[in-house]
A and B are shown apart, each in its own frame.
Chain A
Amino acid sequence: MKKVRDNFLFRMWLMLSALIVLALVGFIIGYIVLNGMKSISLDFLLSHPKGIPLGAEGGILPAIVGSLLLTLIACASASVLALATAVYVSFYCQSRQLETVVHVIVQCMAGVPSIVVGLFGYTFLVAKLNLGRSLLSAGLTLGVMIFPFIEVRAEKSLREFNRAILQSSYALGVSKVYTLLKLVLPQCKADIVAAVTLAGGFAMGAAAPIILTGAVIFAPIPRSLSSPVMALPFHLYILTGEGISLEKAYATALVLMVLIFAINIVSIALTFRRKEVGR
């Protein structure tokens, strides 16, 4: 009898947990959608902030464009570095110690709080390299933040590649580079792209790293890499923090959420497609 009871309790616990989580998520999403829908319009999406104080009227076009640009720069810079690191560690590195050191560094980077990453970006990129508070500085700082996530996934995917097939390729006298480009990367591409998009969603939602490095209140659409930039999470932070307009804040939150959802869905679809192909 005890067994039956334990079983029942265990299942109750699982069900309740699932219900609570679903209810919470549903509540948050529903709340934002309901409140945000009221002020969403094409005009809101496509016009600049207006009114007094600025942002009380008008739209969020600069923030949308800014967020997309920041995400793009972050993904581009982080994926180049992460892929290179992953390829080096899994294909070229001969020394176990060096491999461990790289892994520890990557793990530590993943654990650094985003505001600290922001401070690093400020001291190193903005001040030391004199890039100023700009789209470039903020994008690169976000890149530093998502680098470890992409590296870990890319490396895992590369390591999963069948060793016997690699050896058959080397056995033909073919170089490592050719093997990587023609055999390994095409296989791991979907995985890596999925990792990059997922990390992109993470970068898009982050406010802390960009506050000090590039986000300037109600900056217009950036004209160059060295212009300051507005981003959705920062816009949201200003609207609520300064008590400018709660309504607009809900709408902004909704737009940000939809964008991140869209990115995640793309990423899931890519992972799923890989599974299909892999069978």
Chain B
Amino acid sequence: MNILELISLKAYYGNKQVLHGIDMVIRKNAITAVIGPSGCGKSTLLLTLNRMLEECGGRAEGEIIFDGKDFFAYPKEEVRKRIGIVFQKPTPFPLSIYRNLTYAPIYYGVRDKKRLKQIVESKLKVAGLYEEVQSDLHQSALQLSGGQQQRLCIARALTVEPEILLLDEPCSALDIKNTANIEQMLLRLARDYTIVIVTHNLAQAKRISDYTAFLLDGELVEYDETAKIFSRPEDQRTREYIEGIYG
């Protein structure tokens, strides 16, 4: 089933066009990887998909169908709640770990202390951070390591129970063990959530994703099942990109 359908989606920063008409469907409860060289518009694509592009000085054109309805007709807060994003750089709030995770739930009306505590613990467990921080949930989130901060941000994005989770190179600051943990986590999450992950790590895309999209200079060159993209790419440019990195 398709949860998102992009039809001729374009994105601009000022006069500069960054996405040149993307047509693509995102399938529900699957992991979709977006690969492509630096500056090709991967982050811009994710920003468009949770209505953060305009906050970052850009603007989108074209059509998106979200859950059967016009994406741009939803209030943007609702889109942002239902489609969560984790940015490339970890951005913990300058609050305690606990308050980082209760920040959004309190906004959405959860007041019950027990319920909040339960949210914090369960999301930390999902993100694989619970073991490391359980002894002191009230320490400042800024004292965590880069990798821990990134997992905290993933946990935080999950606290509002989004349907889709967008991740922008979540593993770029992590070591092999943490990366493996996150990959395990994403595979588990894919049962309940739809995941779109931008990655420079082709091996990672191959390991965890069901579908892979190859983006080049703001155009969708090829989009297919991951196995197919990596074994029998149809487009010459896809083949070159994949081989270029491997070779």
Contact = CB atoms under 8 A, between A and B. Distances in A.
Nearest to B85: A171
Interface residues of B, number: 26
Interface stretch (B13-21, B88-96, B185-193, B208-216): B88-96
Interface string A155-187: 000000010110111111111001000110001
Contacts, number: 61
Contact of B91 (A168, A173, A175, A187): A168
Contact of B103 (A162, A164, A174): A174
Contact of A172 (B55, B89, B94, B160): B160
Contacts of A165: 91, 93-94
Given A167-B52, A167-B56, A183-B93, A173 B87 contact: no
By secondary structure, the A interface counts as helix
Given A164-B87, A165-B91, A167-B87, A173 B103 contact: no
A174 B153 contact: no
Interface in B141-175: 153, 156-157, 159-160
Contacts of A178: 107
A99 to B, nearest CB: 16
Given A167-B55, A183-B93, A172 B87 contact: no
Nearest to A162: B91
A173 B55 contact: no
A171 B80 contact: yes
Contacts of A187: 94
B50 interface: yes
Given A165-B93, A167-B56, A168-B153, A174 B87 contact: no
A175 B55 CA distance: 13
Interface of B: 50, 52, 55-56, 77-82, 84-85, 87, 89, 91, 93-95, 103-104, 107, 153, 156-157, 159-160
Given A164-B87, A165-B94, A172 B80 contact: yes
B7 to A, nearest CB: 24
Interface of A: 162, 164-165, 167-175, 178, 182-183, 187
Contacts of B89: 164
A191 B44 CA distance: 35
Contacts of B56: 167
- Among A165, A167, A171: residue with most chain B CB under 10 A: A171
27 contacts: A164-B87, A164-B91, A165-B94, A167-B52, A167-B56, A167-B91, A168-B91, A168-B153, A169-B93, A170-B52, A171-B50, A171-B52, A171-B85, A171-B87, A172-B84, A172-B103, A172-B104, A172-B156, A172-B159, A173-B79, A173-B104, A174-B103, A174-B104, A174-B107, A178-B107, A183-B93, A183-B94
Contacts of A183: 93-95, 103
B94 A182 contact: no
Given A164-B91, A165-B94, 18 more contacts: A162-B91, A164-B89, A165-B93, A167-B91, A168-B93, A168-B156, A170-B80, A171-B80, A172-B80, A172-B84, A172-B103, A174-B103, A174-B104, A182-B103, A182-B107, A183-B95, A183-B103, A187-B94
